Each structure stands twice: as structure tokens, then as C-alpha cells.
Amino acid sequence: MMHQTVTRTILGAAALTCTLAAQAATWSDTSIGYRYGTDYAEPFNANAISKDIINLNHVSGYKYGSNFFNVDMLMSDNKDPSSAGAGTGAQEVYIVYRHTVDLEKLTGSPYKFGPVRGMGITAGFDYNTKTDAGYNSKKRMLVAGPTFMMDVPGFLNLSLLALFESNAPYSTFSRVATPRYTYDSHMMLGAAWGIPLGGSGFSFEGFANFIAAKGKNEFGGDTAPETNIDMQVMYDLSPVIGASPKTLKLGLEYQYWKNKFGNNSDGAAGKGAFAQTPMIRVEYHF
């Protein structure tokens, strides 16, 4: 059943990506990628987890702004057990979409000051589903707020977003389904960047999210502020295969995620709520 769900998700993601690309009047970039690590962590799980992650990513620009769309398909080993049992690992689909309207393009007036080259309004959503044995997350989240485009080589965008998040987990241990629960609205300071390192072929890429606590969780416990920094150094291997620049990229990635999903790593969630994960990453752009 999960394989069918993943397949439908991939097909739906591909269809949406093609639609976004068709609407992009100025530029677009679509990629498929793979990353792997052996030291992933999950709240309330003390084990180091290996994961294979396949992703589909699309970014594009049009007359008044830009789109960002990403689907991660995460496949854990049996240290993160599946609700299906039989020694299998959990599978997860996590989708992110952001749309930014560029205020200068919309109004015709510049929004430049200091290190800021432009401003926009961003809105979008996060969506996930996971088949782990303990929680079975069904996260739904809407986001909205201003974005500041910084004047750097490549890009560096800073956003201050309001988050409106809910979840409706199901525990296969207790056989208890939790009705969809809405957390307190809360704020996130986010950064996303892609900066070329001169003419070396290397680039520094990633994102950082600093997320405020979101009140009580669905079980009545306190949530904690969350820090999620995911950064990579990528090298453009395109000349090696005779392809156009930035077609094939290979690199090393590192994720620092404290109080994962708002679970306090100093509390019952334990060290599984504090991930420090090195990975290898490869991307093919088309």
C-alpha cells in the first residue's frame, strides 16, 4: 500500500512540476537527487538510523515572482521500524511548496536598502505522511510572510514566516488515532542560499530554519524551539560527462536538527530529537 502511495505521490509531484515549469516565463530548473546517511535520528528513538532519500526539486521564475517545490521520499532501515512490521523500515513522503511574489516586479518600484536587493511575500505549505510504528505523522502546515532577497553572488533569501500547523498521528502500538490537532500559530526565521565559490566549480547551498515553540502538543506536553540547519558543499561534475554546466552535482551534506519537530531533546524525546547527520548527495538537473 505504501509503495502505491509513494508511486502516486511521485506521479502527482511530476505533474505539478511540469505545470509549474510551463508557467515559468523566465527560467526554471528541475532536478532529481539522492542522498544517504547512517546517523539520522527520530524523537523517542535512541538508535542511529540509516536512510536512503530520493528527491524531486523544481524552482522557477515568472513575470511576478518564483516557485519552489520539493518532494523527499525517505526510506529508513529497520532501526526506524515500519507499522507493517516484519523487520521493515518506515517510509515517509515530505512535500514543501513556496510561492514568492516579488514586490518590485509586481509594483514596478524598487525595494532596495542596505544589503537587501529586493523584497517579496511568500506563502506555501508543508505536507507529510510516514509509516513508522510509533507516531505515523500526518503533518499539514500553511506558511506566510515577508522574504528579503540579499545582495550576494547566487542567492540568499531570508524569510519571517507565520506557521499554522496541525497533525493527526496514529499509534500502531496503542491502536489509538489522535484527532487532528492544531498547534498554536508560531513564527519561523528561515534562510535559503546557493552561493558559488568563485570559479572553482564548488558551491555552498542549504537552508536554516529557526522555529519558535508551538504551545502544547496533541498529548498535552510542552513543545520546544526548533533549529534545523541543512547545508552542503556541492561540486559541478558536468564537464566530466560533457554536459552543460550545473547538470550533475556531487557533494557532502550535513544536517543539524535540535528539538526535531518541536520535541525537547532534553526531555522524554531523548537524543533522537537532536540529529547531527553527515550525508553524501548527488543531483541531476534538467
pLDDT tens track of the chain, all 286 residues? 444 554 454 445 445 444 544 454 599 999 999 999 999 999 999 999 999 999 999 999 999 999 999 999 999 999 999 988 778 999 999 999 999 999 999 999 999 999 999 999 999 999 999 999 889 999 999 999 999 999 999 999 999 999 999 999 987 766 788 999 999 999 999 999 999 999 999 999 999 999 999 999 999 999 999 999 999 999 999 999 999 999 999 999 999 999 999 999 999 999 999 999 999 999 999 9
Q: What residues form DSSP beta bridges with 191? A: 158, 208
Contact 105, 65 (CB under 8 A): yes
What are 257's three cell numbers? 536538527
Query: What is residue 85's predicted lDDT score, i.e. its pLDDT?
Result: 76
**Which residue in 177, 180, 207 sits closest to 194, CA to CA?**
207
pTM (2 d.p.): 0.89
**Which residue in 131, 141, 130, 132 sits closest to 214, CA to CA?**
141
Query: What is residue 8's predicted lDDT score, i.e. its pLDDT?
Result: 55
Contact 72, 53 (CB under 8 A): yes
The CATH T-level fold of domain 2-285 is Outer membrane phospholipase (ompla); Chain C (2.40.230)
Query: What is residue 7's predicted lDDT score, i.e. its pLDDT?
Result: 45
Domain ranges of the chain: 2-285
What are 57's three cell numbers? 526539486
Q: What residues form DSSP beta bridges with 238? A: none
Query: What is residue 20's predicted lDDT score, i.e. its pLDDT?
Result: 47
Contact 62, 98 (CB under 8 A): no
Query: What is residue 203's predicted lDDT score, i.e. its pLDDT?
Result: 98
For residue 229, what is the enclosing H or E element?
strand 226-236
Query: What is residue 25's predicted lDDT score, i.e. its pLDDT?
Result: 57
